[in-house]
Amino acid sequence: MITDLRSDTFTLPTDEMKKAIVNAKLGDDVFREDKSVIELENLISEMTGKESALLVSSGTMGNLIALMVHCNRGSEVVLGDQSHIYYYEQGGISSIASLIPKPLKNYEDGTIDIDDIENSLRDENIHFPETKLICLESTHNRCNGSPLELSYMERVYKLAKSKGLNIHLDGARIFNAISYLNVDLNQVFKFVDSGMICLSKGLGSPIGSLLVGSKEFITKARRVRKVLGGGMRQAGVIAAPGIVSLKKISKIIVDDNRRALEIAKFVDSINGFSVDLDLVKTNIFYIDTEERLAEDVVKTLSENGIFSFSVGKHKIRFVTHYMIKDDNIDHIKNVFFTVFG
Fold entry, domain 3-8+253-340: Aspartate Aminotransferase, domain 1 (3.90.1150)
CB contact at 8 A, 45 and 71: no
Instruction: Provide the sign of the torsion angle of the four alpha carbons 310, 312, 313, 315, taken in this order.
Output: negative
* Residues 123-175 pLDDT 10s: 889 999 999 999 999 999 999 999 999 999 999 999 999 999 999 999 999 99
CATH number attached to the domain at 15-250: 3.40.640.10
Please state the three-class secondary structure of 252-286 as a single string. Answer: CHHHHHHHHHHHHHHHHHCCCCECCHHHCCCCEEE
* Residues 96-115 pLDDT 10s: 999 999 999 999 999 999 99
pLDDT values of the chain reduced to their tens digit, one per residue, 341 residues: 999 999 999 999 999 999 999 999 999 999 999 999 999 999 999 999 999 999 999 999 999 999 999 999 999 999 999 999 999 999 999 999 999 999 999 999 999 999 999 999 998 899 999 999 999 999 999 999 999 999 999 999 999 999 999 999 999 999 999 999 999 999 999 999 999 999 999 999 999 999 999 999 999 999 999 999 999 999 999 999 999 999 999 999 999 999 999 999 999 999 999 999 999 999 999 999 999 999 999 999 999 999 999 999 999 999 999 999 999 999 999 999 999 97
Give CA–CA dist 296/266, Å, rounded.
20
Give CA–CA dist 9/120, Å, rounded.
34
**Using CB atoms within 10 A of its CB, is residue 22 exposed (0-12), middle (13-18) or buried (19+)?**
exposed
Domain extents in the chain: 3-8+253-340, 15-250
Fold match, 3-8+253-340 / 15-250: no
Q: Which long-range contacts (CB under 8 A, 24 or more apart) does 89-92 make?
A: 89/60, 89/63, 89/64, 90/60, 92/60, 92/64, 92/67
